Amino acid sequence: MELNVGTGECFTHEYMVDYSDVTSDGRLSPRAAIDCFQNIAILHSNAGGYTLDWFHDNHCGWILLNWHIVFGEMPFDGATFTCDTWTSPHKRSQADRDFCLKDADGNVFARACSRWVMMDTNKRRPAKLDPDFFSAYLFDEPRPCAEEDYNMDFPEDAEEINTMTFPVLRHDTDTNGHANNAVYIDWALDTIPDELYTVGNLKELLVSYKKECRKGDTVCSTLLKSDEGLMCLLTNAEDPSVEFGRVIMR
């Protein structure tokens, strides 16, 4: 996925880089960029009439399945930028959404594609919705990102280099009661030893969410390394057969 600007209509919102959003080099952090992506997805849904209250009252909600994010030179503290988002036609209860962060001159800082599923929060399975529901999310123009298969297989020769455990705390959880999507990425990045971690060196991030985790769970983060990059396997510390997610960092 290249850092080029898509054409066509999209939903747009302007942001400013706050001091709390930057890494030690003064640039927008990967976590803050992902927070922008999640925020504009909610704003877009609100604009279509589907607010958080609507989802709560109708016992359904969007669940994130995958990210594929490419990072460029991120903006500095105090800079303003826009976040654009597009959506594609749904497949049953599943839909794709793309994002782009760029400045007023069109310089792109980050691009992302993502896959979501609409869940019935009572039955814990994909929701059955009227096809008209999705019309509020769609644009006439094609997606700016190519089709993505979200391949998250780890190489067989990957070497385990570090393991850490993280308790899921109250501040990690969202309105659905489970760990926020961005927290999975924090766990993966925090598992990278200092000698391997370079601020601003992250160029590509893939994430697969397998199972939700909740306050009181303990996550075991296992970091592996191969020629293809760093990989992190997130499992339940009490039951390693339960996989919460996978993260690939390049």
Q: Pairing mode, if any, of strands 60-71 and 218-226?
A: unpaired
Residue 78 lies in a domain: yes
**Is 164 found in the same domain as 133?**
no
The pLDDT value given to residue 69: 95
**Is 130 found in the same domain as 96?**
yes
> In which band, very low, low, confident or very high, does the pLDDT at 137 lie, cut at 50, 70 and 90?
confident
Domain with residue 233: its CATH number is 3.10.129.10
- Domain region containing 245: 159-249
Weakest-pLDDT range from 73-77, 174-178, 195-199:
195-199
More confident residue, 142 or 237: 237
**Is 121 found in the same domain as 44?**
yes
**Is 34 found in the same domain as 119?**
yes
**Is 123 found in the same domain as 16?**
yes
More confident residue, 118 or 144: 118
How many Å apart are CA 240 and CA 22, to the nearest integer? 34
Q: Is the pLDDT of residue 144 over 60?
A: no
Q: How many domains are there within the chain?
A: 2
The pLDDT value given to residue 97: 92
Residue 229 lies in a domain: yes
**Is 193 found in the same domain as 120?**
no
Share of the chain above pLDDT 90, in %: 70
**Is 81 found in the same domain as 22?**
yes
**Is 174 found in the same domain as 94?**
no
**Is 61 found in the same domain as 31?**
yes
**Is 180 found in the same domain as 126?**
no
Residue 35 lies in a domain: yes
Residue 152 lies in a domain: no
**Is 183 found in the same domain as 133?**
no
